[in-house]
């Protein structure tokens, strides 16, 4: 006989039944402070954060989230002390090796967005291998934002559009939202429904600027290393209490007269 469901299991069941967001982005913040509060070096916070990544990925997969985008390293994070940057890159390499089997066994497609050319070879090689080997997986897309910046992404899209125009393949007047989106690193991912930021900070820090135009934002107090299943479920439950209006009125949305989803 199976044991009675724990409160966590019950909440997970409830969240699942109410309909989960298709695409969740997480700004995984607070590793350094978590470590410093415990008298540890910042890197120990990043290391403990890897366990949160594993746990949140598992829950998201179980719940049927289609895409999970994790902000692991921003374009601006290169400006941190060289020792911390090197430690983060090494942890990333370890993550890609240790999680490889679980990602493949669970039908997860691993991808990455950002200026991947800036990553050291010892990260780029296992990253590309796992991207390739998981390319056919259909369960969930786990996208790591690495050397990622929203402004950098938009500048790149503008440049690509300009180049296409110069080549005569695109008329400037034909540039629209769809064209621009096609040149973003997130091309092909579902619309971003929810952005979570941990550690009590309330800002976007250059994460998915275009994509977050109509995302719900949920700010969690837990620093990332302490952000585990219950905290993630609480954020999803908060999302489910929101009403997404996309510029319309509440009555319109509740009446279901007009499909509020932007095209």
Is 187 among the annotated ligand-binding positions? no
What is the closest distance, in whole angstroms, from the C-beta atom of residue 50 to ligand IPE in the complex?
A: 11
- Joined together, the tokens standing for residue 36 give 């410093």
Choice from 12, 29, 153, 216 touching Mg ion (CB under 5 A):
29
Compute the distance between CA of residue 21 and CA of residue 67 in angstroms, rounded to an integer: 9
Is 29 among the annotated ligand-binding positions? yes
Q: Does 31 bind ligand IPE (CB under 6 A)?
A: yes
Q: Each residue of 24-61: b (16+ CB within 10 Å) or e?
A: bbbbbbbbbbbbeeeeeebbbbbbbbbebbeebbebbb
Is 47 among the annotated ligand-binding positions? no
* 43 Cβ contact partners less than 8 Å away, ≥ 6 residues apart: 35, 84, 87, 88, 91
**Contact partner at residue 115 from ligand IPE, Mg ion, none, CB < 5 to 8 Å by partner kind:** none
- Return the closest-CA partner of residue 150 out of 243, 231, 215, 95: 215
User: In a 3-state reduction of DSSP, which class is residue 197?
Assistant: strand
**Contact partner at residue 74 from ligand IPE, Mg ion, none, CB < 5 to 8 Å by partner kind:** ligand IPE
Residues contacting ligand IPE: total by CB under 6 A:
18
Contact 25, 194 (CB under 8 A): yes
Sign of CA dihedral 194, 199, 204, 208: negative
Q: Which of 8, 29, 107, 193 is catalytic?
A: 29
Q: Does 72 bind ligand IPE (CB under 6 A)?
A: yes
Q: Does 137 bind ligand IPE (CB under 6 A)?
A: no
Sign of CA dihedral 73, 75, 77, 81: positive
Which residue lies nearer to ligand IPE by CB, 73 or 239? 73
- Joined together, the tokens standing for residue 14 give 């409830």
Q: How far is CA 112 from the centre of its chain?
A: 10
Which residue lies nearer to ligand IPE by CB, 9 or 36? 36
- Joined together, the tokens standing for residue 186 give 């997130």
Contact 108, 134 (CB under 8 A): yes
Which segment (7-15, 31-39, 156-164, 178-186) binds ligand IPE by CB under 6 A?
A: 31-39
Q: Does 222 bind Mg ion (CB under 5 A)?
A: no
Q: Is 107 a catalytic residue?
A: no
- Return the closest-CA partner of residue 204 out of 149, 127, 131, 153: 149
- In the chain, DSSP finds a helix count (H) and a strand count (E) of 10, 6
Is 205 among the annotated ligand-binding positions? yes
Contact pattern from residue 184 through residue 213 relative to ligand IPE, giving x for each residue in contact according to CB under 6 A and a dash for the rest: ---------------x-x-x-x--------
Choice from 54, 55, 77, 129 touching ligand IPE (CB under 6 A):
77
Choice from 23, 25, 53, 71 touching ligand IPE (CB under 6 A):
71
Which residue lies nearer to ligand IPE by CB, 77 or 252? 77
Interface positions with Mg ion (CB under 5 A): 29
Q: Give binding residues for Mg(2+) as ranges.
A: 29, 216
Q: Give binding residues as ranges.
A: 29-34, 42, 46, 78, 80, 197, 203-205, 216
Interface positions with ligand IPE (CB under 6 A): 27-33, 71-74, 77, 88, 199, 201, 203, 205, 224
Active-site positions read: 29, 77
């Amino acid at each position: 006989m199976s044991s009675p469901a724990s409160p966590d299991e019950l909440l997970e069941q409830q969240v699942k039944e109410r309909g989960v967001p298709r695409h969740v982005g997480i700004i995984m913040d607070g590793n350094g402070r978590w470590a410093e509060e415990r008298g540890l070096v910042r890197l120990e916070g990043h290391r403990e954060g890897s366990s949160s990544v594993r746990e949140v990925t598992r829950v998201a997969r179980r719940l049927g989230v289609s895409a999970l985008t994790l902000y692991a390293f921003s374009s601006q994070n290169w400006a941190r002390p060289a020792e911390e940057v090197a430690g983060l890159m090494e942890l990333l390499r370890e993550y890609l090796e240790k999680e490889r089997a679980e990602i493949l066994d669970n039908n997860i497609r691993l991808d990455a967005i950002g200026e991947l050319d800036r990553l050291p070879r010892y990260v780029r090689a296992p990253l590309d291998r796992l991207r390739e080997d998981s390319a056919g997986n259909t369960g969930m897309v786990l996208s790591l934002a690495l050397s990622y910046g929203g402004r950098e992404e938009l500048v790149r899209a503008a440049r690509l559009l300009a180049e296409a125009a110069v080549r005569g393949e695109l008329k400037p007047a034909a540039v629209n939202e769809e064209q621009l989106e096609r040149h973003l690193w997130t091309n092909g991912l579902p619309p971003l429904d929810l952005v979570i930021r941990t550690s009590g900070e309330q800002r976007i820090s250059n994460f998915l600027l275009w994509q977050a135009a109509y995302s719900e934002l949920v700010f969690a107090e837990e620093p990332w290393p302490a952000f585990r299943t219950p905290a993630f479920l609480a954020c999803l439950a908060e999302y489910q209490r929101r009403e997404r209006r996309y510029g319309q009125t509440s009555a319109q949305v509740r009446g279901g007269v007009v499909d509020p989803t932007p095209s």
